[in-house]
Amino acid sequence: MVRLKRRPFPAAVGTISVLTAVLVLAGCAKGNDPAAEKPDSEDAVLYVGDEPVSEAEYRMLAEKYSNQIYMQYTTEQVNSADFWQTETDGTAPWELLDELVQEELQYNYTLKDLAVELSVEEDYTYQELMEDREQENADREETLGSEEGVVYGLTDFDEQTYYEYWYSNLETQVTNALVEKETSVTEEECRAYYDDNPDTFSYEDGVTVLYAEFPYTQDDSAESDVQAQRMKKAMESTDSLSELSEAFPDASLQKLDLNSLDTQEGMSGVYTYRWQTASQMQEGQIFGPYEDNGMLCIMKCTDRTGDGSLDFAAVKGQIERYLQAGQAQEIIADRMEDAQISPGSISPEEIIVSL
């Protein structure tokens, strides 16, 4: 049996932050266009619950997943005139493709129904979604044509790409809404997860550093260089954060506990170079001054550890979020099982054979 492989829920606590970064979608004209009605029984390929699926949406998904079916057969089989309807071990290729399409539809329509219930999104049709794609493409083209226009990501979406983009973001929004409104986790459950998964919170390399930043511009670069060199000299004789802060009031000083699980590089990776450098330093070593992110920086390694683990207090919030997100995924899965699929008037076999 062919199965669509959906993204697994993250196993590492460090990946949970993805769920907090909800992407804002461009709004469809949902429910505002009287002409954009849902397909009736004469235009539906199948129904997910009470929701009809149009031929256009079904065909788009069939084209998307057709290569997964082709790869399971020889070139000679694929090139035969009646490939889609020729059975192998009692199953025709069109049936395998239909299964993939139905699973995708079942999941996506479950997300859509939950999004409406949770007030995350208004109801919409596939036609409205594709009209929104056209508007999104037009907006991006206009932005690119403007003075100093910048577009992040794709400059143009085709139907399949926009469909994936939409439902990937909708999945994140629905999960976050479920976490907020429908889930709860106790401290005991968090502690149990922490105790049962020691490897998840263990790291090989840890380092403690004194980290200093000075503002750095071309206009005062000479003064910044002098201050940074003085800071480096002072670090040679002290590890005291208070002493250094008092001696250099213009500097931003921190004592950082970094490790391979918690590099503190930030969502944007802005401090990636800092961790890469700190992870190679030995106790007592000073690095810098060096320019990074528009600042003049100096680091001193004050301690190194190996084979350590994060304290429960430091990761409790992440564990709670992880377990809540797992509960949200279970809610989605249960709703998906309840979303029964029934046939419409248009034959899936005929659509697939015509690809």
Q: Which CATH fold topology does 203-309 show?
A: Chitinase A; domain 3 (3.10.50)
- Encode 233-263: b = buried (16+ Cβ within 10 Å), e = exposed: ebbeeeeeeeebeeebeebebeebebbebbb
> Is residue 30 pLDDT above 70, yes or no?
no
The per-residue pLDDT for range 274-332, each reduced to its tens digit, is 999 999 999 999 999 999 988 899 999 999 998 899 999 989 999 999 999 999 999 99
Residue 202: count of CB within 10 angstroms of its CB: 14
| Cα–Cα distances in angstroms (integers) from residue 69 to residues 4, 61, 66, 161, 225, in the given order | 11, 13, 5, 20, 63
Q: What is the mean pLDDT of residues 189-203?
A: 95
Confidence label for 248 from pLDDT (cuts 50, 70 and 90)? very high
**Region at 84 (left for phi over 0; alpha for psi -120 to 50; beta for the rest):** alpha
C-alpha to C-alpha distance for 347 and 55, rounded to whole angstroms: 9
String of b and e for 114-151 (b: at least 16 CB within 10 Å)? Answer: bbeebebbeebbbbbbbbbbeebbeebeeeeeeeeeee
Beta-carbon contacts of residue 156 (< 8 Å; ≥ 6 apart): 137, 140, 141
pLDDT in tens, 147-166: 666 666 677 899 999 999 99
For tokens 């429960």, name the residue. 312
Q: Judge if the upstream peptide bond of residue 39 is cis by omega within 30 degrees of 0.
A: no
Q: Distance between CA atoms of 107 and 177, rounded to whole angstroms?
A: 17
Query: Residue 222: its pLDDT value, please?
Result: 79
Whether pLDDT at 217 is above 80:
no
Please count the residues of the chain.
355
Do the beta carbons of residue 256 and residue 211 sit within 8 Å? yes
Q: For position 223, what pLDDT does the model report? A: 80
pLDDT tens, residue by residue, 59-100: 999 999 999 999 999 999 999 999 999 999 999 999 999 999
Lowest mean pLDDT among 8-17, 127-136, 189-198, 258-267: 8-17
d(CA 52, CA 125): 9
CA distance 37 to 275: 54
What is the rounded distance in angstroms from the CA atom of residue 26 to the CA atom of residue 33? 17
pLDDT value, residue 157: 92
* pLDDT for position 24: 41
pLDDT at 39: 54
Hey, where are the domains in the chain? 31-182+327-353, 203-309
What tokens appear for 138 in the block?
A: 């037009």
Give the Cα-Cα-Cα angle 40, 166, 169 (nearest 5 degrees). Answer: 135
pLDDT confidence of residue 267: 74
* Residue-level pLDDT at 150: 67
pLDDT for the residue numbered 156: 85
User: Is the pLDDT confidence value at 253 over 90?
Assistant: yes
**What value, to the nearest 5°, has the Cα angle with vertex 246 and ends 243 and 248?**
105
Average pLDDT, the chain: 87
